[in-house]
Every structure is written in structure tokens, then in C-alpha cells.
């Protein structure tokens, strides 16, 4: 091989080296640009869709402790209504004698959250025989013979029987006369009942054959609340519409 051939090969090798270096430069530059280059404004638009899901928030009313001290506290605070005070009543021929009908007015801007029904009764200065005698409290046909033993407390001494029941769970036997063997008792939420109408009619009596039967006390005590905020308030009021 002559000098001219060697010279040609040398030039060809240099040319190939330049081409390879150029190709490598382009490949590497392109790869780097994929990571570090910033697209020109307006060429790429990112569309972000924000989906806002409306979640329904359920606001629960304040609860009651279901204790006698809380009942007494509500009475002291004026959040109570006495429906019967030494009401003389008994039963004859399947009907009540001395029963009373009261229209309870529900006022204020807020609702009843929870509360208590307190009952105290006697006959001839002695406690009731709960197998055969009962206190009848019936608001708008959502009550009847109150089952005193199905509440927070029920006790008797030598003078009277008393009981405390939660307003949201009043157990009772409907219908007249009182049937102590009946099994189909019902449960009503009186706190909700008091929020449905602007007034509720209560019928109260004592189911006993003793003519000296006495409903000494029937009282509703209650908490108020704002259904929008869920806060306890004093913005509701029960009263007797006379």
C-alpha cells in the first residue's frame, strides 16, 4: 500500500470519528434536553380539573346523660314543664275519672334535643301496685300506660312510686283499660314528637280502682339545640296553652 493510500485511510478515519462524535453529541443532548429543557409558553397546556364533591354533614343533637341529677339540673334551669300536680284520678268501668287534657305549646327558634319524663304517683298514700296500676300519659296517641320499669329508674317507698324515663325512648301500652299481661308494648320518641308540631295534646290519668288515686307529679325536662350548628342552646320553650 502506497503513501497515498495511507493518507486516504487516515483522512477517512478522522472523518468517521467526527461523524461518530457528532451522532453521540446529538443523542446525549436530546436525552439531556428531555429532563432540563422547559417547553415554550403556550405549547403545552395542562388542564386541571378539580372535582368538588359535596358531602352531606349530619349534625347530631346533644345527648342527655340519662341521670337523675341532670334531670334536676334542667328543672333548676327552667327547662322543664310540669303537666300534672296532685291530680286526683282513678278508673271506673273501663274509663278514667278525673283525667286531664293539656295542650303543650312548643315555642322558640330551636328544637328539643333530648330530655326526661318524670312521674310520681300514689293511691291512698301508698305506692302503686305496678302489676295492676299505671300512670297514663298520652301525647297525640304516641303514649298510653307508661311502663315505669323500662326507663332510667323506677322506685317505690311507703308513700309513692316514682320513675324517670328518657324522652327519646318512652315505653307504653296503648289502649284502655290497662292490661298488665299485654306484651305488645310500644316505644315512642317524644323529643322528636315535640319538634314536629307547634303544639301537642297530652291526656293524663291514673289507672287504679282506688278512688284516692293521685298523680302527684308529671314533668317534662328537656335540652334545646340548634340543628344548624349542633350546639346546645336555651332557644326552645314548652308551655301549657291555657
Does the pLDDT at position 53 exceed 60? no
Distance CA 88, CA 121 (A): 10
Specify the CATH class of 68-240 in words: mainly beta
Question: Which one has a higher pLDDT value, 76 or 51?
Answer: 76
Picking from 68-72, 141-145, 180-184, 233-237, which range would have the lowest pLDDT averaged per residue? 180-184
Q: Is the pLDDT of residue 77 over 90?
A: yes
Residue 198's pLDDT is 92
In whole angstroms, how far apart are CA 128 and each of 11, 72, 146, 175?
A: 126, 23, 13, 20
Q: What is the pLDDT of residue 21?
A: 55
Quickly state the pLDDT bin for 13 (edges 50, 70, 90): low
For residues 13-24, one letter each, b for 16 or more C-beta atoms within 10 angstroms of the residue's C-beta and e for the rest, the string is eeeeeeeeeeee
* Phi, psi for 52 (deg, rounded to 5): -100, 115
Which of the residue ranges 39-48, 141-150, 232-241 would you say has the lowest mean pLDDT? Answer: 39-48
Amino acid at each position: 500500500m502506497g503513501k497515498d493510500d495511507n493518507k486516504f485511510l487516515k483522512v477517512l478515519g478522522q472523518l468517521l470519528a467526527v461523524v461518530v462524535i457528532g451522532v453521540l453529541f446529538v443523542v446525549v443532548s436530546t436525552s439531556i434536553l428531555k429532563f432540563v429543557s422547559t417547553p415554550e409558553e403556550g405549547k403545552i397546556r395542562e388542564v386541571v380539573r378539580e372535582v368538588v364533591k359535596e358531602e352531606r354533614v349530619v349534625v347530631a343533637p346533644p345527648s342527655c346523660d340519662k341521670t337523675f341529677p341532670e334531670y334536676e339540673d334542667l328543672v333548676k334551669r327552667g327547662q322543664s314543664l310540669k303537666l300534672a300536680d296532685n291530680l286526683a284520678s282513678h278508673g271506673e268501668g273501663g274509663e278514667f275519672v278525673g283525667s286531664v287534657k293539656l295542650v303543650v305549646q312548643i315555642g322558640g327558634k330551636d328544637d328539643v334535643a333530648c330530655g326526661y319524663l318524670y312521674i310520681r304517683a300514689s293511691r291512698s298514700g301508698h305506692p302503686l301496685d305496678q302489676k295492676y296500676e299505671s300512670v297514663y300519659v298520652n301525647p297525640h296517641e304516641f303514649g298510653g300506660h307508661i311502663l315505669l320499669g323500662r326507663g332510667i329508674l323506677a322506685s317505690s317507698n311507703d308513700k309513692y312510686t316514682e320513675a324517670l324515663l328518657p324522652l327519646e325512648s318512652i315505653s307504653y301500652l296503648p289502649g284502655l283499660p290497662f292490661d298488665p299481661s299485654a306484651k305488645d308494648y310500644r316505644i315512642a320518641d317524644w323529643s322528636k314528637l315535640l319538634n314536629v308540631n307547634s303544639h301537642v295534646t297530652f291526656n293524663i290519668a291514673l289507672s287504679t280502682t282506688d278512688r284516692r288515686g293521685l298523680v302527684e307529679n308529671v314533668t317534662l325536662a328537656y335540652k334545646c339545640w340548634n340543628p344548624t350548628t349542633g350546639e346546645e342552646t336555651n332557644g326552645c320553650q314548652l308551655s301549657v296553652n291555657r
